[in-house]
């Protein structure tokens, strides 16, 4: 069974971090369902390549706009571009993310600021910029924020991410009450393990750890990107208009089994931590070369 192919026809969706990973998967599904998709991120070439490939595979229209969501002026310029190009947006997906797996005492201030800036500040800036415009126009809108299954309970070894995602979840629930009466619906998705190259290179670079990760999931497998994309499509569509302020976990039951966080990393040796950090630094360096 599948959605009607015109489920999102006439809608314009802005997806932060839309050129790779979960963001791109959601963008492709929205395209297939009739939406115009705007993707943003910091790497222009990655965005341009993604837009071209997405349109070739799915049809429709993709607009690539570079933006560092940590910069409120850049976010405002992004929204101005979206309003000028498309007459505004109907859907905002706060997907841009950053995470670092590390013993907390080894983190630098820069590392903490980077995660909080992208995840918490970026989501707030984008939501505020879109919300102000919707409210001024008396226009309905939907905000979907991608959080984590540890946003409510926290997690060792990814403390900046846990704090940032908890803040985004609190923002989602708060604005659902404040803006709901004025036609703006806010929800969140809390994904469990979904294999995306950037995230898994940083958080699970050692293939030997994959089996342990799978064992913590009752369904004994990671999620498939289309499964998350379908949930996102439903939540931003008119079919979900009575769902507001909710956070829906999509994790194969991992959270219910006591997983959904990184506390298991307490068993890693010093050598494993050093290997993980070296791999993460290499991934970050490759990303910077594409900017």
Block means of pLDDT (10 residues each) for the chain, 291 residues, are 86 98 98 98 96 97 98 98 98 95 93 97 99 99 98 93 98 99 99 78 61 84 96 98 98 83 68 73 60 53
Angle, CA 118 vertex, CA 288 and CA 205 arms, to 5°: 55
CA 118, 120, 121, 126 dihedral sign is positive
Instruction: State how far the Cα of 13 lies from the Cα of 82, in Å rounded to an integer.
Output: 10
Q: What is the side-by-side strand order in the sheet with 91-94?
A: 62-66, 36-41, 12-16, 91-94, 141-146, 184-191, 247-250
Instruction: State how far the Cα of 145 lies from the Cα of 191, in Å rounded to an integer.
Output: 11
Instruction: State how far the Cα of 147 lies from the Cα of 170, in Å rounded to an integer.
Output: 11
Residues 63, 38 contacting (CB under 8 angstroms): yes
pLDDT at 124: 99
Name the nearest CA neighbour of 74 among 138, 135, 118, 13.
Answer: 118
pLDDT at 270: 76
Residues 200, 101 contacting (CB under 8 angstroms): no
Instruction: State how far the Cα of 36 lies from the Cα of 53, in Å rounded to an integer.
Output: 15
The catalytically annotated residue of 125, 150, 157, 242 is 150
Residue 80: count of CB within 10 angstroms of its CB: 12
Instruction: State how far the Cα of 39 lies from the Cα of 112, in Å rounded to an integer.
Output: 25
125 catalytically annotated: no
For residue 71, CA distances in Å to 76, 79, 117, 118, 209 come to 9, 13, 9, 9, 36
Residue 191: count of CB within 10 angstroms of its CB: 24
Instruction: State how far the Cα of 123 lies from the Cα of 171, in Å rounded to an integer.
Output: 9
Instruction: State how far the Cα of 42 lies from the Cα of 96, in Å rounded to an integer.
Output: 10
Q: Which token pair is 61?
A: 């229209």
Name the nearest CA neighbour of 143 among 180, 99, 97.
Answer: 180
Residues 225, 120 contacting (CB under 8 angstroms): no
Residues linked to residue 144 through DSSP beta bridges, in sequence order: 93, 187
């Amino acid at each position: 069974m599948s959605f009607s192919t015109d489920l999102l026809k006439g809608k314009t969706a802005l997806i932060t971090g839309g050129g790779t990973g979960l963001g791109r998967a959601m963008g492709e599904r929205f395209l297939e369902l009739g939406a115009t998709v705007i993707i943003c991120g910091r790497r222009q070439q990655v965005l341009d390549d993604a837009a071209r490939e997405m349109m070739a595979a799915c049809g429709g229209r993709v607009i690539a706009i570079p933006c560092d969501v940590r910069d409120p002026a850049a976010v405002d310029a992004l929204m101005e571009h979206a309003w000028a190009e498309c007459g505004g947006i109907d859907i905002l997906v706060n997907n841009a993310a950053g995470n670092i797996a590390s013993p907390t005492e080894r983190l630098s201030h820069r590392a903490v600021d980077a995660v909080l800036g992208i995840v918490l500040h970026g989501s707030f800036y984008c939501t505020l910029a879109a919300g102000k415009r919707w409210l001024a126009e008396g226009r309905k809108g939907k905000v979907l924020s991608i959080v984590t299954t540890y946003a409510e309970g926290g997690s060792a070894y990814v403390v900046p991410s846990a704090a940032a995602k908890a803040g985004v979840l609190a923002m989602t629930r708060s604005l659902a009450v404040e803006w709901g009466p004025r036609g703006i619906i806010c929800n969140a998705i809390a994904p469990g393990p979904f294999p995306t190259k950037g995230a898994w290179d940083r958080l699970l670079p050692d293939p030997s750890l994959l089996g342990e990760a799978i064992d913590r999931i009752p369904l004994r497998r990671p999620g498939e990107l289309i499964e998350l994309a379908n949930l996102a499509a439903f939540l931003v569509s008119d079919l979900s208009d009575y769902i507001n302020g909710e956070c829906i976990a999509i994790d194969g039951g991992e959270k219910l089994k006591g997983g959904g966080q990184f506390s298991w990393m307490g068993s890693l040796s010093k050598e494993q931590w050093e290997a993980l950090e070296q791999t993460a630094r290499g991934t970050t360096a490759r990303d910077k070369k594409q900017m």
